[in-house]
Structure 1
Amino acid sequence: MSGRLIGGRYQLATILGQGGMGQVWTAYDQRLDRRVAVKLLRPDRVTGPIGSEAAGELRRRFVRECRVTAQVDHPGLVTVHDAGSDGDDLFLVMQYVEGADLSDHLAEHDPYPWQWSVAVAAQLCAVLCAVHAVPIVHRDLKPRNVMVRPDGTVTVLDLGVASVLDTDTTRLTHTGSPIGSPAYMAPEQAMGGAVGPYTDLYALGVLLHELLSGEVPFAGTTALGVLHRHLYEPPVPVRRIRPDIPEPLEALVLRLLAKDPQHRPSGAQEVYEHLAPLLPSPGTGLSVGPLDPTRPFLRPHAPWPDRAAAPPPPPAPPAPAARPDVAAAVDDVKKLLGEGRITQAVDILGSILPVAAEQHGEDSAVVRILRKQYAATLMDDGQYRRALPELRRLADDRAAEAGPADAQTLQFRYDAAQCLEQLGEPAAALAEYRAVLPYYENHRGTGGDPARSFEIRNRIAHLLLALGDHVTARVQLQALLYDAERAYGPHHPLPVELRRRLDRQVEVRGG
């Protein structure tokens, strides 16, 4: 495969690694004459034999997620250059990162200095703060996905890849197994529940435990055995293995590894605040050699070892802002959306809404249509935090006009619930889903919408699992399975998926 040209531009050179989902290669960008890293993914290896329609959907989702993750601007994240498909492969082109992955770095330094562990975790918190603000959940944070660079900074890889392959896993995979690494998988992720920032915090706890103790907190001979231990066994406190570790650091690791997401820290920012007092300061006498992750805190922004720093080019002067023409801008948005250029369409819609409100009035039909398109496009672009207030406003306005049972009102509220779920607010999302569910049920005398009702009940079960209420979630799934079989028959994809999930929960519980 060496020498193969990907996307008509990237020539593969040397394989860096491979696993069940694909391969990572060094490659050369022939257009810009630079070294890059190319990750190749084979959808059929993850999903099994699938039809062209499902494969096309997976490819579209892959490109969309790569586009969303490329919006995150943080020095601790690998830069995404390109993404697409080439033959049977999906490809992701990334910045080539010099250094060693954290797994190899740990193996080369035994025992790993606890100050290094704190420095790595603090840098990862900074990355997670930026990622979760989008919001994106990494879902597969582990040492192999973290690089330690020559200046000691860490870089996180594979952001967005797991989210593509783990979405609706039980429908898309032929095994029903969740994508991810069992050793680093949070209990709610293992049970097939909704994931959020709290899921990444658990993985961070596993990673930190491994750096401090030399081993993951839960190991086993089978994936199901490992997942069972995540669910039911307490982790061994790290000070029992290394008494030199500060007590506050041990306490933080135990909080990160809480079974119930609500008992973990509130976010990566809080974790960082607990780590900050333990970070090294200049004059501590620690090593600052190559691949030392304490270096960014001992010598902030210092040049890389043995590398001269080149001054950045002066910034270009900003272009003068022009007052947009609403009609012309709407035409531009339609064209951009047709070409899949969603991020640019979002920016235009955001700029023309205030102008349209000034010209036509805030309650005019023009502004409402634009606001509806704006909210939908924000959601399609993965900008759930910006979409949520727009959807709530749309829902309130529509409810005041047409009532709470109106189909459009309910759609806005349903979309808002989806945003809350994506933003890692499971309790709020659960409340919103439960509030709209009765309007889609048949017993209200409106005929209902069985498909949407089943979908919402499925999401409710996912969120109950994320909140640690496994018993109620299982009852909900069993009731949903009964109703879905009556409505669709036992061989419909939904009952098949539900049976698979219920069976998997039994397997994980049994270990």
Structure 2
Amino acid sequence: MAENRLIRGRYRLLDIIGRGGMGEVWRARDESLGRQVAVKCLKPMGQRQEPGFLRVLRERFRREARVAAALQHRGITVVHDFGEDDGILFIVMELLSGRNLSQLLDDNRRQPLPVPDVIEIAEQVTAALAYTHEQAIVHRDLKPANIVRTTDGTVKICDFGIARLGHDIGFTARLTGTGVAMGSPHYMSPEQIGAGTVDHRSDLYSLGCVLYEIATGAPPFAQGDAWAVLVGHRDTAPEPPRRVRPDLPEVYERIVLDLLAKEPDDRPRDADELGKRLADARHPRAVRGAGGGPGDLTVPTPRLPSWTQGITVGSPAAGARRRRRTASDRAAAVLTDAWTIGGDPQRGESSPAVGLVRPATSEGHHATLAALADRLATARQLAGLGRHFEAHQLFTEVLAGRERTLGPDHPDTLGCRHHLAVGLGRLGRLEDSRATAREVAAARARVLGAHHPDTLASRFQLASVLGQLGAWPEALCAYREVAAARAESLGPDHPDTLAARYEVGICLGRLGRSAEALTHYRELVAARTRAQGPDDPETLRARHGLGVNYGRQNRWEEALTEARQVTAARARVLGADHPDTLASRRETAVALGRLGRWGDALEVYRQVADARERVLGPAHLDALASRGDQAQCLEQLGRTDEAAALYRRVAVLRQERAQRRR
């Protein structure tokens, strides 16, 4: 897209406000009406750009845009127009002036908002949801970044229809290592996590998460690891907010906790009922703070599963703390969600949510570098939370700034390009990731030296992408070179050296060279045990690889022994339901089956399937695969009727899953 381009002969693009996973956002002038508007230009991307997919996408875009344009409520961002111009899908929306809730918390140094503000926001958002739910429309991605308080105090929900459209275009974020399709993990309802039926009560749960965060300063489940956050939503009662915010009236604590009920039936019936409860809470006898005495509300707070222990606690989804902004700072025009990146880069401020990125001004070289460093830190936090699209946009901006300020070959510039390569891989853009990683590795070798740790990190990333692309011979060669270089410069037992050696074993197995892999894993297990101890998760990971390759050599008794020992150790260290523990338990079942002990194998397959279904939900792909293993085992035992019934159940769940994703 270019400045001054005229969209459909009417909307003059003036300046870019931001970029996001789904395209670009422009400030534009409506030439017909003489007003300024926001134009969101969507760019379909991904693997599925065949004509049939694009036809379906355009139809879904029109349907979702019509739905959004039909919504007429003061609490919902107005959609003025939509259409297609030279292959670009676009939506024209009102240009808001104000701050979204993520930015308000950032302005307040991540401290809770004043109680009157929390109450006012709760009432206005509830009224908007009541209206949209009456139209049988569910937002599905309600979060602080999608709720804006304008300069006149009006609270507006943004991006109705866009969240679902994002999935169609191919921009569904995924939880690292699990394959759970997700939107924003800190605000997802349990039924979204478990691939259950999502209705208006899911929006109420997300609203509960939002209110909890603005009332306490953090989401109800604020672990830095996305998996632990999702487990918290599914399995753990939130800490009552008055424990960290005693001045919050008890009646509002009750409302928030009811919204956060795990079962949809235990939440308020609908937004109308919630609105009535909020109105009742306005009564002076109800709205009492800590001076009114503690309430009698008792909420159990069981701990997360044992395998979440030791997870590093990161920042909440809204971002890191920043200084309070002045009134003039807050007058920025805002849009929504990942479309724009908030903050003033010259002040060192950044937000993973919304806001106008002001044009750069000359405030000094050091101020610029400090601003870029702050934005890079935010991008890394976003990546750690699995919010890869938003992180990618920040990395791109920081890279451009560092290239201008420091030059293309400065180590800090190359460090940002390295992060960009990693992010491209996480977004599934593997060819782009490979090209970028190769360029960065070559530049770092030229600037820093071939054996510099940063150079080796980029070569490691290149090897990783080669493996993901199926280029296993090249990946094996690259990993071996990195392992040798790290052993020489860092030492043979350094964690980075051992990490590269582990990947060498993976490559050997993928290439069918299991005899070499077996020897390699034996040596790696010894090194890991020497360096980190026998119960370290990485030692157990190497032992798991050893057991797998025993099986590939048809040494099933040894494979069974190893799988059982690793399962027991992982259960003790990580927890019985940790994904790694279940992976080793499944290897136990595989070995039992190969040894003809199908009855024993059936019981272990059933245990794995039950655990995955309990943790992930019955329609999760891993749970369905485990039920398939169980059915195959039943067939081996001649229990064909039971196997057929289980296959039918799996087929129904897969069909329901597919329908929900359409």
Bucket of the pairwise TM-score, normalised by the shorter protein: 0.5 to 0.7
Match in the other structure for 2:274: 271
Are the aligned partners of 1:257 and 1:264 in contact in 2 as well (CA < 8 Å)?
A: yes
Shift of 1:144: 1.3
Give the secondary structure class of the aligned counterpart of 1:200. helix
Residue of 247, 252, 257 corresponding to 1:244: 247
Per the alignment, residue 193 of structure 1 pairs with: 196
TM-score scaled by length of structure 2? 0.42
Paired AA for residue 100 in structure 1: R
SS of the aligned residue for 2:124 comes to helix
Provide the C-alpha distance between the structure 2 equivalents of 1:100 and 1:171, rounded to a whole number of angstroms: 25
Q: State the 1:122 CA deviation.
A: 0.6
Distance in 2 between residues matched to 1:174 and 1:247, nearest whole Å: 35
**What are the ranges of 5 or more consecutive residues in structure 2 without an aligned counterpart?**
288-326, 331-612, 633-649
State whether structure 2 residue 126 is matched by structure 1 residue 125: yes
State how far apart, in whole Å, the 2-side matches of 1:57 and 1:24 are: 23
Shift of 1:171: 11
2:173/2:181 contact within 8 Å kept: no
Question: Which amino acid in 2 is paired with 1:83?
Answer: F
Would you say the 8 A contact 1:48–1:173 is kept in 2?
no
TM-score (structure 1 length as normaliser):
0.54
Of residues 222, 227, 235, the one that matches 1:219 is 222
Deviations 1:238-260 (A, max 9, x none): 10101111111111111111111
CA distance in 2, matches of 1:52, 1:31: 33
SS, match of residue 77 in structure 2: coil
Name the CA shift for 1:122/1:28 in 2 (closer, same or farther; >3 Å): same
Q: Deviations over 1:254-312 (max 9, x none)?
A: 1111111111110111111121134499xx9xxxx999xxxxxxxxxxxxxxxxxxxxx
1:474 and 1:22, CA in 2 relative to 1: closer, same or farther beyond 3 A?
A: closer
Change in 2 beyond 3 A, CA 1:88/1:279: farther
Alpha-carbon deviations, 1:194-218, whole Å to 9, x = none?
2110110011000000010011112
* Unaligned residue ranges in structure 1 (runs of 5+): 292-464, 486-493, 503-511
Give the letter for the 2:93 counterpart: M
**Secondary structure in structure 1 of the residue aligned to 2:53:** helix
**Map of 1:395 onto structure 2:** none
> Which residue does 1:136 correspond to in 2?
137
Residue number in structure 1 paired with 2:235: 232
* 1:147 match: 148
Contact 1:137-1:163 at 8 Å conserved across structures: no
| Alignment-derived partner of residue 437 in structure 1 | none
Question: Residues 300-341 of structure 1, C-alpha deviation per residue, up to 9 Å, x if partnerless?
Answer: xxxxxxxxxxxxxxxxxxxxxxxxxxxxxxxxxxxxxxxxxx
Find the counterpart in structure 2 of residue 78 from structure 1: 77
Letter in 2 for 1:185: M
User: One-letter code of the match for 1:240?
Assistant: R
Moved more, 74-83 or 87-96: 87-96
Q: CA deviation at 1:221?
A: 3.2
Asked if the contact 1:166–1:178 (Cα under 8 Å) also holds between the matched residues in 2, the reply is no
- Aligned-pair distance for 1:112? 0.8
Distance 1:69 1:265 in 2: 25
Measure, in 1, the Cα distance between the counterparts of 2:15 and 2:169: 33
Equivalent residue runs for 1:399-410 within 5 Å:
none
Cα distance in 1, alignment partners of residues 105 and 174 from structure 2: 33
Cα deviation for residue 30 of structure 1 reads 1.9
Asked if the contact 2:175–2:182 (Cα under 8 Å) also holds between the matched residues in 1, the reply is no
Partner residue of 2:16?
15
The answer (yes or no) to whether the contact 1:147–1:156 under 8 Å persists in 2 is yes
Change (3 A) 1:7 1:190: farther
Q: Which has the larger radius of gyration?
A: 2
Question: 1:4 — aligned with what?
Answer: 5
Q: CA deviation at 1:35?
A: 0.4
| Residue 113 of structure 1 pairs with residue 114 of structure 2 | yes
Distance 2:9 2:76 in 1: 26
Residues 145 and 157 in structure 1, CA contact (< 8 A), matched pair in contact too: yes
Judging changes above 3 Å, is the alpha-carbon distance between structure 1 residues 163 and 151 closer, same or farther for their aligned structure 2 residues? same
8 Å CA contact 1:24, 1:39 repeated in 2 = yes
**May I ask how many residue pairs the two structures share in their alignment?**
312
Match of 1:393 in 2: none
Of 25-34 and 239-248, deviating more is: 25-34
Distance of 2:87 and 2:228 partners within structure 1: 34
Identity of aligned residues (%): 40
> Cα gap change, 1:22/1:182 in structure 2, threshold over 3 Å: closer, same or farther?
farther
Mapped contact 1:27–1:38 kept (Cα < 8 A): yes
Which residue is equivalent to 2:595? none
Alignment of 1:349-498 (within 5 A): 470-471=617-618, 498=654
Name the amino acid aligned to 2:59.
R
Could you say which residue in structure 1 is the equivalent of 2:39? Answer: 38
Question: How far did residue 94 of structure 1 move?
Answer: 0.6
In structure 1, what is the Cα distance between the partners aligned to 2:72 and 2:623? 40
Cα distance in structure 2, aligned partners of 1:236 and 1:18: 36
2:64 is matched with which residue? 65
**Deviation (angstroms), 1:54:** 0.8
1:159 corresponds to? 160
Change (3 A) 1:43 1:65: same
Q: Structure 1 pair 178/5, CA: closer, same or farther in 2 (3 Å)?
A: farther
CA distance in 2, matches of 1:174, 1:246: 35
Distance 1:174 1:222 in 2: 10
What amino acid is the match of 1:270?
E
User: Alpha-carbon deviation of 1:86?
Assistant: 3.1
Check the 8 A contact 1:169/1:179 in 2, yes or no: no
User: Residue 99 of structure 1 corresponds to which residue in structure 2?
Assistant: 98
The structure-2 alpha-carbon separation of the partners of 1:108 and 1:190, relative to structure 1 and needing over 3 Å to count, comes to: same
| Cα contact 2:195–2:619 (8 A) shared by 1 | no
The one-letter amino acid of 2:7's match is I
Q: Distance in 1 between matches of 2:88 and 2:225?
A: 29
Aligned partner of 1:86: which letter? D
Paired residue secondary structure (2:19): strand
Considering Cα pairs closer than 8 Å and 6+ residues apart, tell me whether 1 or 2 has the greater RCO: 1
Pair 273,86 (structure 1): closer, same or farther in 2 beyond 3 Å: same
1 CA distance for matches of 2:258 and 2:22? 32
Q: How far apart, in 1, do the equivalents of 2:106 and 2:171 lie?
A: 35
CA distance in 2, matches of 1:278, 1:18: 41
